[in-house]
Amino acid sequence: MVGSGIGLNNSILIKKASALEQIARIDTIVFDKTGTITEGRFGVTSIFPSGKINDNELLTLTAAGCAFSNHPLSLSVVDEARARNFTWDTVQDFEERAGSGILCKYRDKALMIGNESLMTSNNINIEDLRNKAGELEYRGESILYVSYDNVCKGMLGLADTIKQNAKDVVASLQKMNIRAVMITGDNEPAANAVSSAVNIKEYHSKVLPGEKRDIVKNYQERGMKVGMVGDGINDAPALAQADVGIAIGAGTDVAKEAGDIILMKNDIMDIVRAIRLGKKTLAKIRQNLFWAFFYNSIGIPVAAGALYPFFGISLKPEYAGLAMALSSVSVVTNSLLLKRMSFR
């Protein structure tokens, strides 16, 4: 209770007491990249039209398809188009496929926006853009291909910003002998660029939403105690599967519902603080159990008169009751000392 209260005072909401014990024991933290290691706010950095379409037309077409999506990439495209005061018609038959992209109709023609697999699975030729796409991927940018009327019209490059303290968080975890792992739906070059920037040595790229839970489960089957950090609806199954699910406060309600611990300030350094709090809380619990056992192993025999035949020592009932009360007070006092400890 004391540990949970300290967490709440520091904007770390611990939904159940057992989470403090579990987080003290974890040896692996799995980060979903977008919104945890990165800010989750993308910017359109490159526009490459193909054929007779120009930059503005390609951006407008992409924004039309992205207008009904809540994906960070889609939101960034729409924001960029609105910042340029572009307007567009409403799409029909909107469909969003997790891990692939968007399919819809725009002005009665098929519009597709998404990754390479979406294009190739629908027989859209993107060969003219592959070299440029490789350059963007090497720089760690995410790519949105755009097909209209079954013809590739170009691609957009978008870049996310890595959180300023992400590298410090990873370094702190490594000092605590906790393995840091990153999972992302991005391709290999983009995933490698981000993981290298924050010094995460182990990562999984091109991960589909349904595979995140399987990755967490795989680590558990290898005997690891796993904490999962995420903020999106696609992270919810993995958060629920993990020994401790840690949800970012700015994330979706579904993610927060699945998480055992919620970081209300959206500061991922609070992951390290929560682990330290858990370890110190667990240490206090062990201290209290030791002293309670030690006290009772001596006090109960004395109260029962075990020493009276040998030394004439007895304990009156009222004194025994007072001693028992003092024992409880000492345990509570020791627990409250946790408030004086710094876990930052």
Return the active site residues: 32
Residues 231, 86: Cα–Cα separation, whole Å: 30
Residues 119, 112: Cα–Cα separation, whole Å: 8
Residues 7, 10: Cα–Cα separation, whole Å: 5
Q: Which residues contact 283 (CB under 8 A, 6 or more apart)?
A: none
- C-alpha distance from residue 79 to each of 17, 87, 191, 201, 316 (Å): 41, 12, 24, 34, 78
Are the C-beta atoms of residues 166 and 51 closer than 8 Å to each other? no
Dig out the tokens for 329 from the structure.
């007070």
Q: Which residues contact 218 (CB under 8 A, 6 or more apart)?
A: none
Sign of CA dihedral 238, 239, 243, 248: positive
Q: Which residues contact 3 (CB under 8 A, 6 or more apart)?
A: 14, 17, 20, 277, 278, 280, 281, 284, 338
- The residue type found at 144 is L
Q: Check residue 164 and report its DSSP letter.
A: T
Are the C-beta atoms of residues 80 and 59 closer than 8 Å to each other? yes
